[in-house]
Structure 1
């Protein structure tokens, strides 16, 4: 049986004002989780995923931090309406933006590789979680370059300062302020990375910032498998494009395989066209399976492959055990066999 991806009522115990537009919500949620993961919150008829800023190694309470986004439906509602004592609906923690573990003969062994992180704005949220866990749970050195618009925008300034005092030989944070230094450059990324190309590199922030950092690290000689990127927004470049977007569905090429969907206990067999995800095929057939982000992040669309095989374009929500059990994100799932049966949880 897969992990429970449903929603659970969770009470807010405290709210911490981090900056004028950023708040941390302390949740009465005894969920197990790993540093770097997120929860998905259901509000205003939609869903949004927010990273934990707490660490299971150092914090007794689960905390998620939300920055107010101009025009943001859920973030603005949370800032304007939620108070201590209120209840929100969240998923269990999910995500694969976690500290890498090594496999030794006796099980998991501690890695010695440094952790080097680059974050922009509220991208510091999962980075703080990772840093606290790496420092408290291992002997790994941790270095963070945090880019912010200005001094008033720096989130977790006090917490980062406390880590510097507690781990003076193992923790370093460098604040980059755009209003004083301009936007971060590839040269600055390479300089901060230094000679530690064997480190594990973690990136979280606005897409242009992460693209800059990732490209600079790759050009610097860092292996792609040592770069971990957390993305919550799907850009146009990430979406599959048809050769002719104006084509009506009946004008598209004939299907290459068949798909059986089990939704609310009913079976539906339909054409699975080349280049379509399971979710796209279902919606084209007039079905309404659950989904939210369509970017492989929130696991709202999870289903179980009971016949045939599938692959995912992007997966930022399911762990290896869940994939091995046959669970798939239908917004990212494609068939690799002529027929696939996908069953949604009731």
Structure 2
């Protein structure tokens, strides 16, 4: 059975100021989850995904940590308006940036830039609590005042002497992170988990690859939010007109909220784009294959995903696809969005 990607009310139980621009929100959300996963929230008519900073193996509450982005619609609203007792709408946890169950003896190396420490912190806590793995962690922040979870990480290292090695990088002290600093941690036998700003992640990934680290041992968490506008329930957008230049033989049939519509296929168009062209407002968030908000099930035909960082093998076997990444490979395709 597919994961439930509907929205559910979650209540904020407490708020912790981690740094001047970063807050942790503890939630009364009795969802089972894995370390490294995230929740997708619906706020101000917009969807945003935030990773859990808590660990299901060490923490008695589910927490997400949000850094306020200058000019950010959602992060600014969360910081300004939310108080303990308030309620948000969130999906159940999703994401595949998780510990591999077949690697409990393998060293783990984490690379976290800025707020990218959030899911990596969750992974580190679970790895130390549930496996004998040694853990190395490179954290990169602009200054000591912006270092998220600094005291908590120091306390964790004190509880696990010899197993958790911390490498703290501060831009105002050390300059920008360089390849040499990354190569010092490039253990080919380890699993490497990377999260942070895109330039930071690109540098770490390319440096590890150049050092001979197998691609299957490099795990990267990316979020590229796309705009989302809430549409009233009774509003039905008009399907767009077809043009002969980009139409190809075949159709895409979309079933969403009890309505079914069919449009001709177009060259290079994803199922999500076809659903929009049919006049629907389907669910989506990242549009990069990471969050599974756009997940739907193929009941007829086949489609190939460009990127899949969210669905597991069982879900794919059951016919589920990320519609933001799936292109039809057969003439007739039917996709159903399940509530």
1:135 aligns with 2:128: yes
Q: State the Cα distance separating 1:336 from its structure 2 match.
A: 2.2
Q: State the Cα distance separating 1:234 from its structure 2 match.
A: 6.6
Distance in 2 (alpha carbons) for counterparts of 1:33 and 1:340: 32
Q: What does residue 94 of structure 2 align with? A: 94
Equivalenced residues, count: 325
Q: What does residue 210 of structure 1 align with? A: 201
Q: What does residue 8 of structure 1 align with? A: 8
Distance in 1 (alpha carbons) for counterparts of 2:216 and 2:169: 26
Q: State the Cα distance separating 1:48 from its structure 2 match.
A: 0.4
Of 298, 308, 329, which residue of structure 2 is paired with 1:305? 298
CA pair 185-116 structure 1, distance change in 2 beyond 3 A = same
Residues 258 and 271, structure 1, Cα contact 8 Å, conserved in 2: yes
Q: State the Cα distance separating 1:28 from its structure 2 match.
A: 0.7
Give the TM-score of the pair, scaled to structure 2. 0.92
Q: State the Cα distance separating 1:268 from its structure 2 match.
A: 1.5
Residues 8 and 89, structure 1, Cα contact 8 Å, conserved in 2: yes
1:183 aligns with 2:179: no
Q: What does residue 107 of structure 1 align with? A: none
Give per-residue Cα distances to partners, 1:197-242, cap 9 Å, x unaligned. 110000000000000000000000001111000000179xxxxxxx
Deviates more, 1:6-15 or 1:277-286: 277-286
CA pair 152-343 structure 1, distance change in 2 beyond 3 A = same
Distance in 1 (alpha carbons) for counterparts of 2:73 and 2:290: 18
RMSD: 1.6
Distance in 2 (alpha carbons) for counterparts of 1:254 and 1:127: 44
Q: State the Cα distance separating 1:255 from its structure 2 match.
A: 1.4
1:289 aligns with 2:282: yes
Distance in 2 (alpha carbons) for counterparts of 1:59 and 1:93: 16
Instruction: Find the residue that maps to 1:10 and give its secondary structure.
Output: strand
Which 4+ stretches in 1 moved above 4 angstroms? Answer: none
Q: What does residue 37 of structure 1 align with? A: 37
Residues 261 and 278, structure 2, Cα contact 8 Å, conserved in 1: no
Instruction: Find the residue that maps to 2:203 and give its secondary structure.
Output: helix
Q: State the Cα distance separating 1:328 from its structure 2 match.
A: 1.4
Distance in 2 (alpha carbons) for counterparts of 1:292 and 1:212: 26
Give per-residue Cα distances to partners, 1:60-79, cap 9 Å, x unaligned. 10000000001111100000
**Which 5+ residue runs of structure 2 have no aligned equivalent?**
227-240
1:322 aligns with 2:315: yes
1:275 aligns with 2:268: yes
Give the TM-score of the pair, scaled to structure 1. 0.90
Distance in 1 (alpha carbons) for counterparts of 2:281 and 2:296: 13
Distance in 2 (alpha carbons) for counterparts of 1:341 and 1:119: 40
Distance in 2 (alpha carbons) for counterparts of 1:252 and 1:68: 44
**Which 5+ residue runs of structure 1 have no aligned equivalent?**
103-109, 236-247
1:198 aligns with 2:200: no
Q: What does residue 227 of structure 1 align with? A: 218
Give per-residue Cα distances to partners, 1:240-276, cap 9 Å, x unaligned. xxxxxxxx96264331432111122222221121211
Q: State the Cα distance separating 1:311 from its structure 2 match.
A: 2.1
Instruction: Find the residue that maps to 1:210 and give its secondary structure.
Output: helix
Instruction: Find the residue that maps to 2:309 and give its secondary structure.
Output: coil
